[in-house]
């Protein structure tokens, strides 16, 4: 008998980001800013302090202290990971037993259900309303009635760019006995984080990442923040040396430069506002062609009846955005990138025959 892959593996395909040479990349929600020269210079010096022949600190102590200082949370509640992707994998495969229910919302980050399927969890999906908002009371009913063990969603949401306010997330956490995993990947761009009160809940894990607002997708660094009991479990279940020494150094260095981070953040938010205003202006002129959602992140979601055709039109001009069904998700770029995007979008939208 030939070797046979099991059912959960046999149809899997490797992750396939947009391949090819696009001069403008607005498809992955990365920061368009490079790290300031000042930090890069410091980084070179601190590389000399890395003990390359030794395993790294398994608890990334210095790094977690820098995270704690930046956000004003107790570092004892913080555990570093190899991107928040690693946390999603660890949490799904260890907090869920086979057949347990994982509740996700739709639309949301597509990786959640993938990790649930590796855990052989059963998927339960809350469908967002027509306007892509979440009715927390409905969500709570669904969590309770389904008996879900874990509820996992992003806030603010990728791809909708809409967010739930603190009171609503609190209500969810305190109304269910499921573990709530709150992915705050984009919360640096908004002000409704629950980081400051994470210790008060016995069923909350908050995920944060350095891949978006901090402009360090390359170093693969994310954090899980939770009460001491959950933190002990997270530390016990992760692989011992999950965050390499170079990433630990670099992350700590950047988080100890809050002025530089805040300046970058302001710049990204300005860019997103400009992009959104430009898109809204197009919407006013071509209302049958597009609808622009509100945004509290570094990207904007646009509903377009001709999304696929317009996505391909942009690609042919060297501009990559994210195509998702009848919407395009567009990351805020530099002034020049936004201008190119808007110019090309306008020419595609105005050259339309009706959908
Ligand atoms: C980008 C993103 C992440 C970040 O993942 P990393 O592994 O830390 O790069 C996590 N969650 C959501 C919703 C994201 O959009």
DSSP 94: H
- Residue 229 in domain: yes
| Alpha carbon nearest to ligand 1 atom 3, residue | 185
> For residues 149 and 101, is the Cβ–Cβ distance under 8 A?
yes
Whether residue 98 is found in the same domain as residue 220: yes
Q: Rounded CA gap, 314 and 181, in Å?
A: 35
> For residues 82 and 251, is the Cβ–Cβ distance under 8 A?
no
- Residue 139 in domain: yes
Q: Which atom of ligand 1 is nearest to the CA of 212?
A: 1
What the block records as the tokens of 80 is: 């570093």
| Alpha carbon nearest to ligand 1 atom 12, residue | 185
User: What tens digit of pLDDT does each residue of 221-260 get?
Assistant: 999 999 999 999 999 999 999 999 999 999 999 999 999 9
- Residue 130 in domain: yes
> For residues 269 and 189, is the Cβ–Cβ distance under 8 A?
yes
User: What tens digit of pLDDT does each residue of 279-308 get?
Assistant: 999 999 999 999 999 999 999 999 999 999
> For residues 171 and 138, is the Cβ–Cβ distance under 8 A?
no
Whether residue 300 is found in the same domain as residue 194: no
Q: Rounded CA gap, 178 and 143, in Å?
A: 8
277 alpha carbon – ligand 1 mean position (Å):
26
Please measure the distance between the N-terminal and C-terminal CA atoms of the chain and give it in whole angstroms. 52
Q: Rounded CA gap, 55 and 270, in Å?
A: 41
Give the global pTM: 0.97
Task: Show which of 226, 256, 286 is a domain's final residue.
Answer: 256
pLDDT band at residue 353 under the 50/70/90 scheme: low
> For residues 185 and 215, is the Cβ–Cβ distance under 8 A?
no
Specify the DSSP element, H or E, that contains 102.
strand 101-106
**Which of 162, 207, 212, 324 gets mutated to test ligand 1 (max ligand atoms within 8 A of its CB)?**
212
Q: Rounded CA gap, 95 and 118, in Å?
A: 12
pLDDT score, position 15:
86
Print the domain residue range for 229: 48-256
- Residue 43 in domain: no
């Amino acid at each position: 008998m030939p070797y046979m892959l099991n059912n959960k593996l046999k149809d899997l395909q490797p992750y396939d980001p947009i391949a090819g040479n696009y001069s403008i990349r607005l498809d992955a929600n990365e920061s368009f800013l490079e790290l300031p020269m000042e930090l890069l210079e410091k980084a070179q010096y601190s590389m000399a302090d890395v003990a390359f022949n030794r395993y790294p600190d398994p608890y990334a102590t210095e790094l977690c202290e820098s995270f704690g200082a930046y956000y004003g949370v107790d570092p004892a509640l913080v555990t570093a990971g190899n991107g928040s992707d690693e946390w999603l994998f660890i949490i799904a495969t260890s907090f869920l037993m086979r057949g347990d229910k994982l509740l996700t919302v739709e639309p949301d980050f597509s990786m959640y259900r993938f990790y649930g399927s590796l855990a052989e969890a059963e998927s339960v999906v809350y469908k967002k309303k027509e306007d892509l908002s979440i009715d927390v009371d409905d969500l709570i009913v669904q969590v309770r009635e389904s008996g879900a063990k874990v509820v996992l969603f992003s806030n603010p949401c990728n791809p909708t760019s809409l967010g739930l306010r603190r009171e609503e997330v609190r209500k969810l956490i305190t109304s269910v006995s499921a573990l709530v995993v709150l992915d705050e990947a984009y919360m640096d761009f908004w002000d409704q984080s629950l980081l400051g009160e994470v210790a008060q809940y016995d069923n909350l894990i908050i995920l944060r990442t350095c891949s978006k607002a901090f402009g360090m997708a390359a170093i693969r660094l994310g954090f899980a923040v939770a009460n001491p009991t959950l933190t002990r479990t997270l530390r016990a279940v992760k692989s011992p040396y999950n965050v390499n020494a170079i990433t630990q150094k670099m992350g700590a260095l950047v988080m100890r430069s809050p002025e530089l981070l805040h300046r970058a953040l302001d710049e990204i938010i300005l860019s997103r506002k400009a992009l959104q205003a430009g898109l809204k202006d197009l919407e006013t002129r071509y209302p049958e062609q597009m609808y622009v959602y509100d945004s509290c992140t570094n990207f904007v979601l646009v509903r377009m009846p001709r999304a696929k055709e317009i996505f391909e039109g942009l690609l042919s001009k060297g501009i990559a955005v994210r195509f998702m069904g009848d919407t395009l998700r567009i990351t805020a770029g530099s002034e020049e990138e936004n201008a190119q995007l808007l110019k090309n979008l306008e020419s595609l939208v105005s050259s339309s025959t009706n959908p």
